[in-house]
Chains A and B, each alone.
Chain A
Amino acid sequence: MENPTVDKVPTAGCPFHGLEALPADGTLLHPSPALAELRSSARATPLKYTGDHVGWFVTDYELAKRVLEDSRLGIHSERVPASSGESTNAELDDDVVASLLDADAIESLAVSNVLNLNSPQHEKMRRAMTGRFMVKAVRGREPAIREIVQRQLQRLQGHDRPVDITTEYALPISAHVHCLALGVPDGLIDSYVRIYNDEPEAADQTDFVRAVQEQFDLVRTVLEEKRRDLSGDALSDLLRAGLTDRETEGAAWILMSVGRDNVARMISTMTVALLENPEQLAILRDDPTLVPGAVEEIVRYGSPFVGLFVRTAIEDADIDDLHIDAGQSVTVSAVAANRDPKRFEHPDDFDVTRDAFGHLGFGFGAHSCVGQQLARVEIRLAIEALILGIPSLRLVSAAQLEPMPFAHPVGMHDTGSVVVEW
């Protein structure tokens, strides 16, 4: 198999041959053509980051896995790929954070934001989070998830048409299922939905940090109630795990904040993919037992992560033919890796019958997605109910069919509205 070598890091004085910013001209279902070009010319390409840093952008599937599992690389959230000027979320300024977020919340984030932690604190926090997301725990939740989905389907069916699947179906389902798995008390679910789903666009840093403070206020109220009534859910587990107050609060914040948006993204995107590929939709309607495989395929094909979270080398690291200097950053492209023809045949075909397992849509290595088993079940039940419950569903318009500004500066595609009619 051909292994194009990687270019050497450009040194001072040399003209820069690499990416000035992540390619932003793609969409969820039709990634930027630049990704395929980069992948066919080299396994990794120099990429500019904020602060004039030059790191790497990995597009090759095998190299992507090697990078994601390498313990010489830690997550470095302060550095993000240089922006093409279109991202909605700028890098956070420490002074803004310090003035708007209370000191406990700042410390809670520092000790427990798993996505930002490295070993051994990472393992400790992760272990406290994973129990209720395991395969059998999630299977046990299926009847309750089905109920949430059915309720939302009925609301959708009674809604004026055309109607936006993202706001009227995907987001409510993912928020309610998230509350179920975490054990957010019934009386606080409406607050959760308001704070997370009706989140105003974080137009600037001030709005963004204010929203985080509001989330922390909710986390504290939720934990206070949970403490009085521990049960079989993820937040109760955190409270039983013998963590410090700051660790518990931070872990609860991360669990409440992450994942829900990605589940909604995948439900919306899968709806678009199926309505744009009617022959694939027909296959699933004929044989709904194929839906789980189709979910795997959409997480491969419709992954929003043009770049995963930024990794930075703690020491010099040679990974295959890629040399990373200590302090240098690497962005792994899940989108490019998931469409690497060396791993997936006809990678640009959306094929619900393929074996898509092995994709990097849930990441790989120590930080691979905690909530992936829950996500699989949620997306499956939501899509099954939608395509079987509304046989004449058709697409009116979808914002994501045109390039949109990234939802996150690491390079995450946004979903936008998905307007349907029947």
Chain B
Amino acid sequence: MRIEVDHDACVGAGQCALVAGEVFDQDDEGFVVVLDDTPPTGSHQAARRAASLCPARAIRVRE
């Protein structure tokens, strides 16, 4: 799995950091930071969930 984020689209709502804290964090302004762009299998489910919940659809998960 590979995670791509669109930093320009991000609105800093924090859903990704809430539901997949091992994969996503937020910078000082609250905007997305990818902690691990090739997360281990155990985090795939959470990463997909973060992508599906992102209110700006700023997260792309390539399987």
- Residues in A lying within 8 Å of B, measured CB to CB: 69, 126-128, 130-137, 357-358, 362-370, 372-373, 376
Q: Are B29 and A130 in contact (CB under 8 A)?
A: yes
* B43 touches A (CB below 8 Å): no
| Chain B residues touching A, range | 20 to 34
Chosen A-B contacts, 9 in total, with CB atoms closer than 8 Å, are A69-B57, A134-B12, A134-B26, A136-B25, A137-B30, A367-B11, A369-B13, A370-B12, A373-B14
* B55 touches A (CB below 8 Å): yes
Q: Which residues of A contact B21 (CB under 8 A)?
A: 135
**Most chain B beta-carbon contacts within 10 A, residue among A127, A135, A136, A364:** A135
Q: Are A368 and B18 in contact (CB under 8 A)?
A: no
Contacts A127-B29, A357-B53; is A366 near B14 (CB within 8 Å)?
Answer: no
* B35 touches A (CB below 8 Å): no
Name A358's contact: one of B30, B31, B53 (CB within 8 Å): B53
B11's nearest neighbour on chain A, judged by CB, is A366
- List the 6 closest pairs (A to B, CB-CB), nearest first: A130-B30, A130-B12, A368-B55, A134-B26, A134-B30, A135-B17
Contact with A along B1-45 (1 / 0, CB 8 A): 000000000011111011101000110111100000000000000
Interface of A is mostly: helix
Give, as a whole number of angstroms, the nearest-CB distance from B7 to chain A: 11
Give, as a whole number of angstroms, the nearest-CB distance from A334 to chain B: 13
Give, as a whole number of angstroms, the nearest-CB distance from B19 to chain A: 7
Q: Which residues of A contact B14 (CB under 8 A)?
A: 133-135, 372-373
Contacts A127-B12, A131-B28, A134-B12; is A366 near B56 (CB within 8 Å)?
Answer: yes
Give, as a whole number of angstroms, the nearest-CB distance from A14 to chain B: 37
Q: Which residues of B contact A127 (CB under 8 A)?
A: 12, 29, 31
A355's nearest neighbour on chain B, judged by CB, is B49
Q: Are A134 and B52 in contact (CB under 8 A)?
A: no
Q: Are B26 and A135 in contact (CB under 8 A)?
A: yes
The CA of A358 and the CA of B26, in the complex, are separated in Å by 20
Name B30's contact: one of A131, A363, A365, A367 (CB within 8 Å): A131
- Residues in B lying within 8 Å of A, measured CB to CB: 11-15, 17-19, 21, 25-26, 28-31, 49, 52-53, 55-57
Q: Which residues of A contact B53 (CB under 8 A)?
A: 357-358
Give, as a whole number of angstroms, the nearest-CB distance from A231 to chain B: 15
Q: Which residues of B contact A370 (CB under 8 A)?
A: 12-13
Give, as a whole number of angstroms, the nearest-CB distance from A94 to chain B: 30
Q: Which residues of A contact B31 (CB under 8 A)?
A: 127, 130
The CA of A357 and the CA of B19, in the complex, are separated in Å by 10
The CA of A188 and the CA of B18, in the complex, are separated in Å by 32
The CA of A405 and the CA of B1, in the complex, are separated in Å by 50
Contacts A130-B12, A370-B12; is A136 near B17 (CB within 8 Å)?
Answer: yes
The CA of A131 and the CA of B11, in the complex, are separated in Å by 11
B16's nearest neighbour on chain A, judged by CB, is A135
Q: Are A373 and B18 in contact (CB under 8 A)?
A: yes
Give, as a whole number of angstroms, the nearest-CB distance from A380 to chain B: 12
Q: Which residues of B contact A133 (CB under 8 A)?
A: 12, 14, 30
Contacts A127-B31, A136-B26; is A362 near B11 (CB within 8 Å)?
Answer: no
B8's nearest neighbour on chain A, judged by CB, is A123
A366's nearest neighbour on chain B, judged by CB, is B11
**Most chain B beta-carbon contacts within 10 A, residue among A134, A369, A372, A373:** A134
The CA of A135 and the CA of B19, in the complex, are separated in Å by 10
The CA of A135 and the CA of B12, in the complex, are separated in Å by 10
Q: Which residues of B contact A130 (CB under 8 A)?
A: 11-12, 29-31
The CA of A366 and the CA of B53, in the complex, are separated in Å by 14
The CA of A134 and the CA of B14, in the complex, are separated in Å by 6
Q: Are B11 and A368 in contact (CB under 8 A)?
A: yes
Q: Which residues of B contact A131 (CB under 8 A)?
A: 12, 28-30
The CA of A189 and the CA of B8, in the complex, are separated in Å by 36
Give, as a whole number of angstroms, the nearest-CB distance from A63 to chain B: 15
The CA of A394 and the CA of B11, in the complex, are separated in Å by 40
Give, as a whole number of angstroms, the nearest-CB distance from B26 to chain A: 4
The CA of A333 and the CA of B49, in the complex, are separated in Å by 24
Q: Which residues of A contact B57 (CB under 8 A)?
A: 69
B26's nearest neighbour on chain A, judged by CB, is A134
Give, as a whole number of angstroms, the nearest-CB distance from B23 to chain A: 13
**Most chain A beta-carbon contacts within 10 A, residue among B11, B15, B31, B57:** B11
